[in-house]
C-alpha cells in the first residue's frame, strides 16, 4: 500500500499541517516550522513569552511527522453529526459538521445550571445514542466527580 508522511501539530485526531510523498520532505518542513516558531523564543509581549513552547518544540515535543497509508480509514475523516443532550437525555441540538470526525470523543460541559453532553456520529441516531450514553455515564458518576467538571 502506498504511504504518505504527514506533518501534524499533534492535536487529536490529527491536525494536518502538510502532506508529503517522502519522509525527507515532511521532516524538512517540520525543521523549518520549528525554526520559525523558535525565532520568537526570546521575545516577550507584556512580560509573557510569545513562543512559550519553543524549547519543547526543539526537543521534539511539538509538531511531528507520522507515516500513514494513502487511503485513510473513512471513520477518521471529517464529516459527522454533532448532538447535544441535557440531563433528561433530550436532544437540545443537532448539527452536521465537516470539522470533526464521527469518532471524535464525547464531552460534558456546564451551561448555566445545566450539564450538557455532546457526542458525534456518522448518523444523527449514532450521535444521539453516543450523547445519551455519555450523559448516563456522567449522571452515574459520583457527585464529587461531577462537581470537578
**In this predicted model, what pLDDT tens digit does every residue of 71-86 receive, in sequence order?**
666 777 788 999 999 9
Q: Which is higher by pLDDT, 13 or 21?
A: 21
Mean pLDDT of the chain: 86
pLDDT surpassing 90 at residue 132: yes
pLDDT surpassing 70 at residue 143: no
CA distance 108 to 140: 13
For the full predicted model, state whether its pTM sits above 0.75. no
**Res 12: pLDDT:** 58
CA distance 24 to 119: 38
Q: What is the mean pLDDT of residues 92-117?
A: 91
Amino acid at each position: 500500500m502506498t504511504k504518505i508522511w504527514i506533518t501534524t501539530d499533534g492535536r487529536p485526531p490529527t491536525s494536518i499541517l502538510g502532506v508529503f510523498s517522502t519522509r525527507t520532505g515532511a521532516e524538512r518542513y517540520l525543521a523549518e516550522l520549528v525554526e520559525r516558531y523558535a525565532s520568537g523564543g526570546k521575545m516577550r509581549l507584556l512580560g509573557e513569552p510569545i513562543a512559550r513552547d519553543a524549547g519543547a518544540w526543539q526537543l521534539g515535543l511539538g509538531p511531528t511527522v507520522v507515516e500513514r497509508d494513502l487511503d485513510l480509514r473513512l471513520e477518521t475523516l471529517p464529516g459527522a453529526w454533532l448532538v447535544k443532550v441535557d440531563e433528561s437525555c433530550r436532544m437540545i441540538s443537532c448539527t452536521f459538521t465537516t470539522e470533526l470526525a464521527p469518532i471524535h470523543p464525547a464531552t460534558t460541559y456546564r451551561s448555566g445550571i445545566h450539564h450538557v453532553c455532546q457526542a458525534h456520529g456518522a448518523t444523527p441516531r449514532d450521535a444521539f445514542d453516543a450523547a445519551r450514553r455519555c450523559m448516563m455515564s456522567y449522571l452515574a458518576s459520583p457527585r464529587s466527580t461531577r462537581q470537578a467538571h
